[in-house]
Amino acid sequence: MPESFPGAEPVVLVRSITRRFGRIVAVDDVSFEIFPGEIFGILGPNGSGKTTTIRILCGLFEPTSGSARVAGVDVVQDPDAVKSRIGYMSQAFGLYRDLTIEENLRFYAGVYGLENDWRERVRWAIQAMHIIGQPNQLAGTLSGGIKQRLALACALLHRPPVVFLDEPTAGVDPAARRLFWNIIRGLADKGTTMIVTTHYMDEAEKFDRLAFLSRGKLKAVGTPAEVKRSFGAGQSLEDIFIAIQEKEEP
């Protein structure tokens, strides 16, 4: 909640970004800010502009207009500089199935430029992420939950202040999802900002704050309670979500 971060500098600052693909407006004049140590949700149905927004913040897409700063870097002016300050975990996990747990970690450590302390970081990741299994087990043979945590570990090796998680819990069983959220909470408590997209509404309560996107437009931003209040009392986020979607797509 904004009140709980008095005077804090936002770690992510989005100022009226718009991104067009031809005649389609994927992101339409969206602004929000995210504070250090928050778990920030970006919610919305498929095609609402979640992924495009994240890609702009990761420096992969240039916005058609507007500006954004992530971890002190202007992503429009200097999209390459932001990459070493963020972690990114995609829905596809981005693991090499034919590499072992340890090899995947070692590879990403190398890609992120870790030189002397990679062994120590890999040991930390295996322990902190509860990656159960032999370090020389091939990633392709791991269960969904362990794959998910290994992917997160790969994104955290270089100690990024901001981590983007794109639909991280898709296709993972409930027990593993709970463990995953506990890890996320633990990381946020230690000051890492976690930005998560999802369309699982039951997960929305786990966010400190969230942004609601629909058809590229920002419909609401705030704590889950604030968002609920702004749409009228007594409704669950899921009801609101469906109501917005139905209004947009008659």
Partner 1 sequence: MTAHRLRSIIWKEFIQMRRDRATLAMMLGIPVIQLLAFGFAIRMDVRHLPMAVYDESRTQESRELIQKLQATDNFDVTRHVDSYAAANRLIDRGTVRAAIVIPVDYARRIKRGRPSTAQMLVDASDPNTSQNAIAAAQLVGQRKNIEVLTALSRAPVRMETPPVEIRVRPLYNPALKSAIFIVPGIIGLILSVTMLMITSMSVVREREQGTLEQLIVTPITRGEIMIGKIAPYVLVGYVQLTAVLTLGHLIFQMPIRGSLLVVYAVTFLFITANLGLGLFVSTLAKTQTQSMQGSYFFFLPNVLLSGFMFPREGMPHVAREVGLLFPLTYYIQILRGVLLKGATFFDVLPQTGMLLLLALVFFGFSVKRFQKRLG
Q: Which residues of this chain interact with partner 1, rule CB under 8 A? A: 58-61, 80, 83-84, 86, 88, 90-99, 103, 106-113, 115, 154, 164
Q: Which is nearer to partner 1, 79 or 222 (CB)?
A: 79
Q: Smallest gap, in angstroms, from Cβ of residue 230 to partner 1?
A: 33
Q: Smallest gap, in angstroms, from Cβ of residue 105 to partner 1?
A: 12
Q: Which residues pair with 19 in a beta bridge?
A: 27
Q: Smallest gap, in angstroms, from Cβ of residue 238 to partner 1?
A: 29
Q: Smallest gap, in angstroms, from Cβ of residue 210 to partner 1?
A: 22
- Compute the radius of gyration of the chain from its Cα atoms: 18
At a CB cut-off of 8 Å and minimum separation 6, what does 180 contact? Answer: 145, 148, 149, 152, 168, 169, 172
Q: Which is nearer to partner 1, 80 or 246 (CB)?
A: 80
Closest CA to 242 of 208, 205, 214: 214
Detail the DSSP E strand segments found in the chain: 12-21, 24-34, 39-43, 65-70, 73-74, 86-89, 162-166, 193-198, 209-214, 217-222
Q: Residue 242 has which token pair?
A: 């469906």
Q: Residue 182 has which token pair?
A: 């506990």
Q: Which is nearer to partner 1, 145 or 224 (CB)?
A: 145
Q: Which is nearer to partner 1, 98 or 248 (CB)?
A: 98
Q: How far apart are CA 48 and CA 42, in angstroms?
A: 10
Q: Which is nearer to partner 1, 197 or 214 (CB)?
A: 197
Place of tokens 């269960």: 143
First to last CA, the chain: 33
Q: Smallest gap, in angstroms, from Cβ of residue 89 to partner 1?
A: 8
